[in-house]
Amino acid sequence: MIVAVDGPTASGKGTIAQALAAHYGLPHLDTGLLYRAVGRQVALAGGDPDREADALAACDFPADLLTDPELRSEASGGLASRVSVHPAVRQALYQRQRRFALQPGGAVLDGRDIGTVIAPEAEVKLFVTASIPARAERRFLEMRAQGRAADREEIAADLARRDERDRTRAAAPLRPAEDAIVLDTSGLDRDAAVAAAIALVEARR
Ligand code: C5P
């Protein structure tokens, strides 16, 4: 069984994908991490994330970059969002994601275009979303728990900016696949969101 989990940043899609993978005993790939690694690599190499050639060269990032905690930062998320608009970057990361999806036992992948581009044949496609205030609040609490300075307004503005860039880009824009089930997690805590996702998978498979 292939499970595709797409949606915007801080919608809960990563948590849900991880929980579904554990529940069904499937391997999980956070595809956002690949784009974050490319963004970080461009920065490390002193390149320009908005230049396709620089971003493409960064797709050859060293494997151990994927475990760098810096990839989780807001800065890396912003860089990821910029390098991910380039078709050549999406193409360069395609095979790796596709191979992961086609493992014999199945897999769970989360990202922006899993149900539409990477694994359109997925048995289950969830599109996880939540309101900007709900997502900003989660990000705010997360950052505060890490002892980092955070401002709700600033976080909300940044989320809105990244949503806009992800939704309006020409290459693989963020949108639900036609056969995706939309799960709005705005009013749900972690456990409720995971339970809802499992119920949706059960109904589909
Ligand atoms: O999901 P995450 O916030 O880690 O993704 C970071 C950025 O990478 C997103 O804003 C998006 O621009 C890009 N991305 C993408 N396609 C994916 C996963 C992430 O374009 N499958």
Q: How confident is the model at residue 100 (pLDDT cuts 50, 70, 90)?
A: very high
Residue 192 tokens read as 């409720």
Tell the residue nearest (CA) to atom 11 of ligand 1: 81
pLDDT at 74: 83
pLDDT at 118: 98
The dihedrals phi and psi of 182, each to the nearest 5 degrees, come to -85, 130
Please state the atom number of ligand 1 nearest to the C-alpha of residue 81: 12
Q: Could you report how far apart the first and last alpha carbons of the chain are, in Å?
A: 8
Please name the residue that has the structure tokens 């939704």. Answer: 167
Q: What is the DSSP annotation of 134-200?
A: HHHHHHHHHHHHTT----HHHHHHHHHHHHHHHHH-SSS-S---TTPEEEE-TT--HHHHHHHHHHH
Tell the residue nearest (CA) to atom 20 of ligand 1: 84
Q: Does the annotation list 62 as a binding residue?
A: no
Q: Does the annotation list 9 as a binding residue?
A: yes
pTM of the model: 0.94
Out of 35, 38, 89, mutate this one to test ligand 1's pocket (max ligand atoms within 8 Å of CB): namely 35
Percentage of residues in the chain with pLDDT exceeding 70?
100
Out of 38, 50, 81, mutate this one to test ligand 1's pocket (max ligand atoms within 8 Å of CB): namely 81
pLDDT at 155: 93
Burial 120-157 (b: 16+ CB within 10 A, else e): eebebbbbbbbebebbbbbbbeebeeeeeebeeeebbe
Average confidence score pLDDT of the chain: 95
| Residues 17-32: tens digit of each pLDDT | 999 999 999 999 999 9
Percentage of residues in the chain with pLDDT exceeding 90?
88
Q: How confident is the model at residue 60 (pLDDT cuts 50, 70, 90)?
A: very high
The dihedrals phi and psi of 5, each to the nearest 5 degrees, come to -125, 105
| Residues 69-96: tens digit of each pLDDT | 999 888 999 899 999 999 999 999 999 9
Q: Does the annotation list 105 as a binding residue?
A: no
pLDDT at 205: 83
Cα-based distances in Å from 149 to 37, 72, 88, 141: 24, 15, 36, 10
| Residues 139-188: tens digit of each pLDDT | 999 889 989 888 999 999 999 998 998 899 899 899 999 999 999 999 99
Cα 151 to averaged position of ligand 1 atoms, centre (Å): 22
Please name the residue that has the structure tokens 């801080």. Answer: 10
User: Is the model's pLDDT at 68 over the cut of 90?
Assistant: yes
